[in-house]
Amino acid sequence: MARSDTRFRAAYNQVLDYCEGHPKGAHIPSEARLCEIAGVSRTVIRRCLSRLEEAGIISWDGRDKRILRTPVAEDRIDQPETSGGAEDLEERFLDWVLRFDVPAGTTLSVAELSRTFSVPQHELKEFLAGLSRFGLVSRRPQGGWILLGFTKDFAVELSDFRSVLELHAVAQVAEAPVDHPVWSKLAELRDRHLDLKARIDSDYHAFSKLDESFHQAINSVVKNRFVAEFQKVISLIFHYHFMWDKTEEKTRNAAAIDEHLAIIDALEARDAHAAQEAARRHLRTSKTTLLSSLRHHDLG
């Protein structure tokens, strides 16, 4: 019914650390200084101090704070294990949607999602509110949320939008100065592509990661928070879709490697026009693949 005292617990233990590091009888620094040490507000520090006084570890009378005894293991208060799940919630959510092939129009229950992802409800609400900006989900009039994404329209629009961003990125790369880190990165990527191409028959699964690295490298040239934010979502969606769609994966990946190499060739030749054309070709293939993977899902 109230917020958790995680900060207090962490701060208390940190102050214990301080006490352990100093001799019995030593003076303890000012409240403000302890705040800096623990990275919390004075309110929390004062709560720590009164608890330490209660426990007989320190004496506290105004400015006069001294260590009475060295704290032992039992003095520590245990932290409630940090769920930590909230961090990659986006990744886990998209993974869940695509893995279980959750159809468009499904109502999403915050309570249920909260359990499956072990994330507090209000964090999930915020997350969904964020996704709604991307048109992936939207609010229902009766309350709750509904999954909109992963229809054909969505895939088409996503692909088109991706193309716009990526073609722009390619144009930027072509104009990048010779000492730009992207060039060494591209050289490295060329090697990795050629390497994988040689052993494509057995290792075609490894392409997914390579694909991500490649597009990441191209887009890293564009320093733009809006592009970056979108790119995160876009790459996740494409990445997972291609991972689950197993039809003709080997041929598909082999073809994609050649398309990537064509882009790298054109870029290294500083032929902006050819690079644009090669990228356009590759993006067209990606779009087709994404659409056909949707079709397969629909049937199954």
Partner DNA sequence: GATACAGTTCTTAATTATAAAATGCACATC
Partner DNA sequence: GATGTGCATTTTATAATTAAGAACTGTATC
Q: Which residues bind DNA (CB under 7 A)?
A: 1-9, 29-33, 40-44, 46-47, 61-63, 65, 107-112, 120-123, 125, 139, 142-145
CA Rg value for the chain? 27
Nearer to a copy of itself, 227 or 254 (CB): 227
- Measured from the CB atom, the residue of 25 and 144 that comes closer to a copy of itself is 144
Which residue's CB is nearer to a copy of itself, number 59 or number 224?
A: 224
Residue 193 Cβ vs a copy of itself, minimum distance, rounded to whole Å: 27
> Are 103 and 29 spatial neighbours (Cβ–Cβ below 8 Å)?
no
User: In whole angstroms, what is the distance from residue 239 CA to residue 209 CA?
Assistant: 8
Q: Which of 6, 30, 41, 79 binds a copy of itself (CB under 8 A)?
A: 41
Choosing from 9, 130, 235, 261, the residue that interacts with a copy of itself (CB under 8 A) is 130
Residue found by looking up tokens 């006490």 in the block: 19
CA dihedral 263→267→273→274, nearest 10 degrees, is: -40
Closest listed residue to residue 42, CA positions, set 53, 33, 51, 55 = 33
Residue whose CB is less far from DNA, 118 or 288 = 118
**How many Cβ atoms are within 10 Å of 245's Cβ, its own excluded?**
19
| DSSP secondary structure letters along 38-73 | HTS-HHHHHHHHHHHHHTTSEEEETTEEEE-S---G
Q: Which of residues 196-235 bind a copy of itself (CB under 8 A)?
A: 223-227, 229-230
Q: Does position 165 bind a copy of itself by CB under 8 A? A: yes
Residues that bind a copy of itself (CB under 8 A): 39-41, 122, 125-127, 129-130, 132-135, 141-142, 154, 157-158, 160-161, 164-165, 168, 223-227, 229-230
